[in-house]
């Protein structure tokens, strides 16, 4: 197997219990994610990784494949448990609360991992952020990257900080979208690393990779996503999806 897609889907959620199977526009949220990931055409296998028999039942109900896992501190660790069952070269971590995932996003994510396997251990997605309020929202993660498109830093703060307005012309702020692609060896190494200092400070696990010399290639996509964190978010996504249907 070459490319494995894994959707980590923990049933528990403090702010939105059982959100991964919450109905959105006539489908469980996971079904939107699963079907859009399938449409990308770049995954040799796609599975949902969950700690719940209830989620397994829902996934199998819409024709998907699910695997029961143990308890984990993060979705990445859950993804790694599943990846060990197969023999992938590339592993894609697909967020289960992103029903507006576009198939082309996964195509972008996989491309550098396949083209430059020795140069790109990890890849992720970002998009230009134009909402001024979101730029200063700590729940919206920002990323800056170099000329080689490898991430320099991720932060909940607005980066880059503009000290002198005359140098801000043409400087864009990029929103990090939490999808990751790994060479299997990089995922294995990452999951065996201890929690890092910057990771603890920002509460962003991708900083563990940077602190330990694992580069992250940033793929810029034109489309944004909308993660579902609370019930009100599900209603907003449903409106967006219904609006898209009427414009197609």
Taking the chain (248 residues) in runs of 10, the rounded mean pLDDT of each run is: 93 88 94 97 97 96 95 90 95 96 97 97 97 94 97 97 84 96 98 97 97 98 92 92 70
Structural domain count of the chain: 2
Residue 245 lies in a domain: no
In Å, what is the CA distance from 58 to each residue of 6, 42, 98? 16, 24, 17
Residue 244 lies in a domain: no
Residue 160 lies in a domain: yes
Burial class of residue 222, CB neighbours in 10 A (0-12, 13-18, 19+):
exposed
Residue 125 contacts residue 119 (beta carbons within 8 Å): no
- pLDDT for 241 equals 84
CATH number, position 141:
3.90.550.10
For residue 27, the enclosing domain spans 1-97
Residue 236 lies in a domain: no
93 and 108 in a common domain: no
112 and 11 in a common domain: no
122 and 198 in a common domain: yes
Residue 89 lies in a domain: yes
For 176, how many CA atoms within 13 A lie in the half-sphere containing its CB? 31
88 and 3 in a common domain: yes
206 and 171 in a common domain: yes
113 and 33 in a common domain: no
92 and 106 in a common domain: no
Beta-carbon contacts of 212 under 8 Å, excluding residues fewer than 6 positions away, are: 190, 193, 196
Residue 247 lies in a domain: no
Residue 169 lies in a domain: yes
220 and 168 in a common domain: yes
Domain end among 77, 97, 117: 97
Domain end among 70, 97, 124: 97
Instruction: Assign 224 to helix, strand or coil.
Output: coil
125 and 91 in a common domain: no
87 and 110 in a common domain: no
Residue 193 contacts residue 208 (beta carbons within 8 Å): yes
- pLDDT for 1 equals 64
Q: What angle do CA 182, 217, 237 make, to 5 degrees?
A: 80
73 and 129 in a common domain: no
77 and 126 in a common domain: no
Global pTM value: 0.94
Residue 231 lies in a domain: no
- pLDDT for 26 equals 92
């Amino acid at each position: 197997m070459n490319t494995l897609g894994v959707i980590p889907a923990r049933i528990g959620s403090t702010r939105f219990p059982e959100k991964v199977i919450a109905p959105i526009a006539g489908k469980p949220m996971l079904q939107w994610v699963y079907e859009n990931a399938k449409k990308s055409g770049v995954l040799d296998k796609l599975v949902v990784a969950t700690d719940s028999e209830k989620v397994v039942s829902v996934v199998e109900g819409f024709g998907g494949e699910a695997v029961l896992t143990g308890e984990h501190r993060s979705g990445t660790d859950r993804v790694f448990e599943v990846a060990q069952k197969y023999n992938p070269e590339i592993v894609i971590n697909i967020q289960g609360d992103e029903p507006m995932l576009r198939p082309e996003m996964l195509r972008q994510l996989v491309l550098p991992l396949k083209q430059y396997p020795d140069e790109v251990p990890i890849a992720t997605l970002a998009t230009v952020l134009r909402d001024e309020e979101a730029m200063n929202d700590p729940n919206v993660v920002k990323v800056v990257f170099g000329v080689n498109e490898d991430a320099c830093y991720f932060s909940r703060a607005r980066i880059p900080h503009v000290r002198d307005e005359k140098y801000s012309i043409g400087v864009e702020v990029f929103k990090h979208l939490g999808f990751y692609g790994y060479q299997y060896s990089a995922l294995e190494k990452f999951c065996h690393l201890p929690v890092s200092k910057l990771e603890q400070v920002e509460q962003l696990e991708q900083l563990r990779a940077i602190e330990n010399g694992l580069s992250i290639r940033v793929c810029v996509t034109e489309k944004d996503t909308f993660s579902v964190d609370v019930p009100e978010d599900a209603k907003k996504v449903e409106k967006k999806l219904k609006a898209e249907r009427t414009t197609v």
